[in-house]
Structure 1
Amino acid sequence: MLGVFDIFKIGIGPSSSHTVGPMRIAVRFLEEAAGAGALENAARVKAELHGSLALTGIGHGTDKAVMLGLMGMKPDETDPDDADKALAELRKTGRLSLHGGPSIPFDAKKDIDLRGDITPELHPNEMSLTLFDKAGEEIFSQVYYSVGGGFIASEKQLKAPAEDDLIVGARKGRHLFTSARELLKLCEETGLSIADIILENEDEHRERNETLAMIDNIWFAMRDCVDRGLKTRGELPGGLKVKRRAPSLFDKLSETPLANEREQLFDWLNVYAMAVNEENAAGGRVVTAPTNGAAGIIPSVLKHYCVDGDEENLGHIRTFLLTAAGIGILYKQRASISGAEMGCQGEVGVACSMAAGGLAAVWGGTPAQVEHAAEIGMEHNLGLTCDPVGGLVQIPCIERNAIGAVKAVNAARLALRASEEHKVSLDQVIETMRQTGLDMSRKYKETSEGGLAVNVVEC
């Protein structure tokens, strides 16, 4: 079974599948090449990007991510400013110091090939890396996939028969579940909340205090991202000339603290979510929640309902994140959180569902009410397309996170006020999302070949 820190990972923007994943792939490739004894003889490296990685790669920073990964930079350890300096030095010198290997000539235009004409069979985000020796002979090559939320897999892994979930879970968790129905049954049998179930599974990996400290660090990274986004002004990179709006919106809200509370509920959720996703669009430090493209929804809801001024309710924040992680695990296990596979329903839709469940738990909801909130959060995001204008994680992504945060709060409110048993289960809505994603046209799944991406003039 997956854990909290599979769902929530600290990295850099603008995309978990197109930036974080390729960085991790490049690092892994060099480690495997070194293990095979090929790295020391490398004189050239070539990356070939297929499918969605190629079609939206430049806008999503995939080319930069590949170069950073080849230099040994890991997304959870990389400062965005350090990354910019490393790329500037590479462009200046034309030489790339392979992590753990030699320094070699490198020309991004020749050595990173964007093959949008190739449609991968196993997963839309396919990437091959190859090392050549001084004679130009191929000495090591691998194919990998960035499967959403920063998760990566080799071609061999994706082609391997799936292991039984319960067998895998038995090695990694105290409480085994492969569906929301099984999770609710566990809660009923043990008397534990969803957050407690997830926390006890984490106890199998490390001491409880260490896990809680790691959860707190996830929140601190989210909080810091909100704060940076509220303070940083200017124009986002990429050519669309999109200006950051969160700082000016925040100023207006701060100047009128006693304004109509019903209107300001939306305003505060909007500004926090947009602050995060403007940071993400600028390549800043964010947390996959469960992806970078949907990174603003959970921090927004947390910030508004679990923080009062400078007072952070860490107990509520932990409950929220543990509960949300449990819901995110179900989506990852039973469907996908990749925009290239599911469209934006698999990113913003899943984040909305996770936030709705987390907030319902903080508000004292039963496990059944949490499940209901998560179901509502997804039900009204089904069919949501991923059609970024110019291949950039800006339009419609930034505003979409703001709308997703508002939806999440409403879903939690509806679930806690429901007077009778609901008709649609979370398992049913997850399966519906999966089927909808499979049926959705490729051009609406993170390729920038349809929707807003072709109907909005870029410049």
Structure 2
Amino acid sequence: MQKEQISVFDIFKIGIGPSSSHTLGPWRAAQQFVQSLGQKEALEQTEQVKVLLYGSLAKTGHGHGTDIAILLGLSGDDPVTFEVDQVDPKTDIIRTSHKLNLGNKKEISFYFDEDLLFLYNESLPFHPNAVTFQAFLSTGTAVSETYYSIGGGFVVKEGADGPQKTEVDLPFPIDTANNLLHWCIKTGLKISEVVMENELAWRSEQETISGVLNIFKTLRECIYRGCHTQGTLPGGLNVARRAAALNKRLIGSNTYSNYDEWITAIRNTGNSFQNILDWVSCFALAVNEENASFGRVVTAPTNGAAGVVPAVLQYYIVFCDGYRNESIIRFLLTASEIGSIFKKGATLSAAMGGCQAEIGVSSAMAAAGLTECMGGTQRQVLMAAEIAMEHHLGLTCDPIGGLVQVPCIERNTMGAIKAITASQLALQTNPDNAKVSLDAVVKTMWQTALDMNSKYKETSDGGLAINIPISLPEC
């Protein structure tokens, strides 16, 4: 496996749902292609663009919004800043007008059914999530580039030499959990402190703190919005949103008008085991219902698993008195390093590894972040991550109708609860007696991914996707 330098902001990316690999990744790939045309001085000469989707991007692309993401990316829009309520209106105009303003600089004709092709029966060898862009120029020549969306919003261009990100001299190089533990033991630093020292190689401490708090701001707004939005999810499954109704039922007669007051109101509902379980589920449902509705979310480490980390963080804030910036930063820095280790040693892509690569990794990340913030040692933090992933091994990705809804949304509630349980187990255990290491679980997860049948890897060709009687084009 090729190793790379991964920042907290590579793991946690702000974007638009419903999928980091099928929406955010292709969106970024389209942007990169337009940028490449500009660098080649070919943008103004472009008369036609064709887009070819392969493998999993083709098979579940409609349900995951791949076509929508590519149209917006080619148009020069950015997923971090683009207004989510303009997603449908803008793409509808492109479809009906047959015009696309390439990079917001060159208007070309674009016929959706002819120029954006879903090649359902074709795959490229490097990765199941592949897209090829072809630009036909007025000179009679063409430019063709292929990109792979490898999970978590990460994109690799075919033929690119080395990592696309500028390498820096990290004080604590980390590829494995054992590397991380080595630096912690040698320096006496907590995991979050090791991560922060590495982040300083890219930017100042204040810039990192501001960036992480902006990530938290997006997570907080997503949870709050999801807990106060009713309706039915798009896509044709007619799945009703549940978080808002659950929030209303749980909150009872307590009143509030903003996020901070909402926290107080939630605390006033009590801390019984059942009540906490319901609230954690509510938090996770809220995020992934927003994700399924093309809302603003944060990859954690993916969009499909975007609800686990924020749900556990919200649990910590509300029920463990963790509403302090320094604690939130520690939580997210620790979680990001666990996600980085899984990416380096295995995969974050459901198209490569099934849902164990998404919900499993997110649960491990959340368990680690919670354990550090609850006072766990470095070994207990790694143990919590190991426990969380160990009990997600083999989890398949089988989205019904190619939509990031069933069973994806509920799986986030399960991942969040498992993360809290894993943290509690680790905090009550002497890690010296552990039989399984985090690195062993990462290795096992990757071996399981390689052995898993492709029909269980985000293709909707197996599992629940073929056993639920619905009538959708991709089922």
Residue 326 (str. 1) matches residue 329 (str. 2)? no
Matches within 5 A, 1:371-386: 371-386=382-397
- 1:22 corresponds to: 26
Post-superposition Cα deviations, 1:353-372, rounded to whole Å, max 9, x if no partner, equal 00000000010001000000
In structure 2, how many angstroms separate the alpha carbons of the residues matched to 1:180 and 1:52?
Answer: 30
- Give the conservation status (yes or no) of the 8 Å contact 1:343–1:386: yes
Matches within 5 A, 1:242-391: 242-255=239-252, 258=269, 261-307=272-318, 312-391=323-402
In structure 2, how many angstroms separate the alpha carbons of the residues matched to 1:312 and 1:375?
Answer: 26
- 1:152 corresponds to: 155
The percentage of aligned residue pairs carrying the same residue is 47
In structure 2, how many angstroms separate the alpha carbons of the residues matched to 1:309 and 1:323?
Answer: 17
Secondary structure of 2:64's partner? coil
In structure 2, how many angstroms separate the alpha carbons of the residues matched to 1:152 and 1:458?
Answer: 33
- Give the conservation status (yes or no) of the 8 Å contact 1:274–1:402: yes
In structure 2, how many angstroms separate the alpha carbons of the residues matched to 1:71 and 1:234?
Answer: 30
In structure 2, how many angstroms separate the alpha carbons of the residues matched to 1:240 and 1:189?
Answer: 53
Residue 108 (str. 1) matches residue 112 (str. 2)? yes
Superposition deviation, residue 222 in structure 1: 0.3
- 2:411 corresponds to: 400
Aligned CA distance change for structure 1 residues 161 and 87 (closer, same or farther; 3 Å): closer
In structure 2, how many angstroms separate the alpha carbons of the residues matched to 1:162 and 1:138?
Answer: 29
Superposition deviation, residue 266 in structure 1: 1.1
User: What RMSD, in angstroms, separates the aligned Cα atoms of the two structures?
Assistant: 1.9
In structure 2, how many angstroms separate the alpha carbons of the residues matched to 1:172 and 1:34?
Answer: 31
- 1:182 corresponds to: 179
Secondary structure of 1:156's partner? coil
Residue 80 (str. 1) matches residue 84 (str. 2)? yes
- Give the conservation status (yes or no) of the 8 Å contact 1:38–1:139: no
- Give the conservation status (yes or no) of the 8 Å contact 1:172–1:205: no
- Give the conservation status (yes or no) of the 8 Å contact 1:307–1:313: no
In structure 2, how many angstroms separate the alpha carbons of the residues matched to 1:138 and 1:409?
Answer: 57
- Give the conservation status (yes or no) of the 8 Å contact 1:184–1:367: yes
- Give the conservation status (yes or no) of the 8 Å contact 1:47–1:111: yes
Superposition deviation, residue 172 in structure 1: 4.1
In structure 2, how many angstroms separate the alpha carbons of the residues matched to 1:39 and 1:170?
Answer: 29
Which one of the candidate residues 7, 10, 15 is aligned to 1:11?
15
- 1:433 corresponds to: 445
In structure 1, how many angstroms separate the alpha carbons of the residues matched to 2:251 and 2:322?
Answer: 17
In structure 1, how many angstroms separate the alpha carbons of the residues matched to 2:436 and 2:322?
Answer: 37
- Give the conservation status (yes or no) of the 8 Å contact 1:297–1:402: yes
- 2:465 corresponds to: 453
- 2:420 corresponds to: 409
In structure 1, how many angstroms separate the alpha carbons of the residues matched to 2:148 and 2:141?
Answer: 21
- 1:423 corresponds to: 435
- 1:205 corresponds to: 202
- 2:211 corresponds to: 214
Secondary structure of 1:96's partner? strand
Aligned CA distance change for structure 1 residues 359 and 98 (closer, same or farther; 3 Å): same
- 1:44 corresponds to: 48
Superposition deviation, residue 91 in structure 1: 2.7
- 2:220 corresponds to: 223
- Give the conservation status (yes or no) of the 8 Å contact 2:251–2:269: no
- 1:443 corresponds to: 455
2:341 maps to amino acid = L
In structure 2, how many angstroms separate the alpha carbons of the residues matched to 1:172 and 1:401?
Answer: 36
Superposition deviation, residue 312 in structure 1: 2.6
Secondary structure of 1:43's partner? strand
1:422 maps to amino acid = A
- Give the conservation status (yes or no) of the 8 Å contact 1:17–1:151: yes
Secondary structure of 2:78's partner? coil
Residue 237 (str. 1) matches residue 248 (str. 2)? no
Residue 67 (str. 1) matches residue 71 (str. 2)? yes
Post-superposition Cα deviations, 1:396-444, rounded to whole Å, max 9, x if no partner, equal 0000000110000000000110145201000000000000001000000
Superposition deviation, residue 252 in structure 1: 1.1
1:69 maps to amino acid = G
- Give the conservation status (yes or no) of the 8 Å contact 2:322–2:328: no
Superposition deviation, residue 307 in structure 1: 3.8
Superposition deviation, residue 278 in structure 1: 0.3
In structure 1, how many angstroms separate the alpha carbons of the residues matched to 2:110 and 2:242?
Answer: 38
Superposition deviation, residue 311 in structure 1: 8.2
Post-superposition Cα deviations, 1:213-263, rounded to whole Å, max 9, x if no partner, equal 110000010000001101110000000000000001111111185467011
Which one of the candidate residues 23, 31, 35 is aligned to 2:35?
31
1:430 maps to amino acid = V
Of the structure 1 ranges 255-264 and 81-90, higher mean CA displacement relative to structure 2 is found in 255-264
- Give the conservation status (yes or no) of the 8 Å contact 1:169–1:176: no
2:336 maps to amino acid = A
Post-superposition Cα deviations, 1:190-218, rounded to whole Å, max 9, x if no partner, equal 01000000001111111111110110000
- 1:139 corresponds to: 142
- Give the conservation status (yes or no) of the 8 Å contact 2:232–2:238: yes
Post-superposition Cα deviations, 1:45-66, rounded to whole Å, max 9, x if no partner, equal 0000000000000000000111
Stretches of structure 2 that go unaligned for 5 or more consecutive residues are: 254-267
Aligned residues: 452
Secondary structure of 1:39's partner? coil
In structure 1, how many angstroms separate the alpha carbons of the residues matched to 2:81 and 2:318?
Answer: 27
Of the structure 1 ranges 261-270 and 55-64, higher mean CA displacement relative to structure 2 is found in 261-270
Secondary structure of 2:396's partner? coil
Aligned CA distance change for structure 1 residues 314 and 349 (closer, same or farther; 3 Å): same
Aligned CA distance change for structure 1 residues 100 and 262 (closer, same or farther; 3 Å): closer
Secondary structure of 1:275's partner? helix
Stretches of structure 1 that go unaligned for 5 or more consecutive residues are: none
In structure 2, how many angstroms separate the alpha carbons of the residues matched to 1:76 and 1:20?
Answer: 10
Superposition deviation, residue 161 in structure 1: 7.7
Aligned CA distance change for structure 1 residues 161 and 8 (closer, same or farther; 3 Å): closer
